Structure 1
């Protein structure tokens, strides 16, 4: 193998690792924000876990955060939780997820 081939393989390996970490972090963020919302809705135990899964699945509908924001806003608007509150919580849960995944890696 040439030096170029070695470098290309190293870049491909790093890219794959980074994408896997990004997926894991976003999945953890989805679960964390789902559990936060479940608590706001008065759900606990298995009901909270099921709700968190539904939030996580809603995040897979379209790229970006618009789908998860729409779901959470629709579910939490009656409790006075606005879009800006949800966006702030997404940022907080992202940081929390990054810390959890980085600590586990």
Structure 2
């Protein structure tokens, strides 16, 4: 029979797991959006990969979606507006979550 402590421990484990999965999905989303932006800027190969890494790093340096949005909007200039970047980030978060689930 589950005790209150067992239920609490299970809840804490689920919370930790969900937080870890969200972190991974956001990092992957940032990489995918970085590759999308690199393509818009005409970057290919290693240059595109390096740019995607910079986008991921932007989130680590100043945690949060807004830091990534500012970087992308600033770098893309007239190639994509803020709403387009936000829409792409939302789209890629869905893709990233699906990829992570598929890999599990």
Give the TM-score normalised by structure 1: 0.91
Paired position in structure 2 for 1:73: 73
Q: Provide Cα deviations, 1:4-50, integer angstroms capped at 9, x if missing partner.
A: 11111111111111111011100110100000011111111111111
Residues matched between the structures, number: 103
Name structure 2 gaps, 5 residues minimum: none
Query: What CA distance in whole angstroms lies between the structure 2 residues aligned with 1:31 and 1:64?
Result: 14
Cα deviation, residue 78, structure 1: 3.5
Name structure 1 gaps, 5 residues minimum: none
Please state if 1:43 is matched with 2:35: no
Query: What CA distance in whole angstroms lies between the structure 2 residues aligned with 1:85 and 1:66?
Result: 14
Cα deviation, residue 57, structure 1: 0.8
Paired position in structure 1 for 2:95: 96
Q: How does 1:3-22 map to 2 (within 5 A)?
A: 3-22=3-22
Query: What CA distance in whole angstroms lies between the structure 2 residues aligned with 1:62 and 1:70?
Result: 11
Q: Provide Cα deviations, 1:61-104, integer angstroms capped at 9, x if missing partner.
A: 3343111111001110143x100110110111111111111111
